[in-house]
Structures are given as structure tokens and as C-alpha cells.
Amino acid sequence: MGYSIKRECLQMILEASKEHYPMEFAALLSAKNKVIDELVLIPGTVAGDAHAIFHMWNAPVDFSIVGTVHSHPSHSARPSDADLAFFSDNGPVHIITAMPFDTDSWRAYDAGGNRITLQLVDRGLPNSVQF
């Protein structure tokens, strides 16, 4: 079974991406029973219009962290070479949001940069919509 994401967590990601525009937004993803349900914000994160930098040594020791999320202030949710290098060392699930930061403009990737499907769930119950 793959990972899924709670609809309210995805909405929080999309809203944070909009709020940070034109800068990038970045956070870690936390999951329980393979359901991503929480964002972990890292102190000292530096956001720019083409980057978001956080130092993993500032991250809490939290074994529920399964990956990362960040926004692209463009219409592309494709990972850059820097994204791919970062993915490989930081968990099995990575989300990129893109303009206009809606439910159609985000993508999920594995640690190798391959597209994966995250099922949207409401209150822990699967929904028929998959991305």
C-alpha cells in the first residue's frame, strides 16, 4: 500500500503556497499509518523566488516524517535537478505545488523523482479521487 494524504493537509499546503507566493514555501511531511496528515515547519527556513532552504539539522527528531513539500512560483510542478538531489536523501514522498496552487496543480514524487499517486482521504477514509 502506498501513501495517501488527508484532504485538509493538502488544502493547508496549497494555502501556504499561495500565501508565500512569489516566494517558495517549504516544509516536511508527517504521516501516521501511511496517511500524510501534518506539516512540520523548520525554524530558520529561508525562502526566495527560486528556492526555499532549510537545514535538516534544525528538523526535530520525528520518525513520522516521510518527506518534503515545497512550492514552485511558476506553473511547473516538475522537480529541478536540485529537487531530485534533495529528494534522494529525505524520505519516500515529496510534493511540489505550482501556480495557481489548486487541487490540479500539485504532483507527488518518490525519492528517485518518479511520479507517484497519493490518494486523497477524508478523516482517514479513502476518497475516489487520486493524484
Identify which of 76, 63, 71, 61 has the alpha carbon closest to the alpha carbon of residue 27. Answer: 71
Give the strand pairing for 35-40 and 4-6. Answer: parallel
In the annotation, is 15 catalytic? no
Beta-carbon-side half-sphere exposure of residue 39 (alpha carbons within 13 Å): 20
Please pick, among 8, 19, 24, 38, the residue that the annotation labels catalytic: 24
Catalytic residues: 24
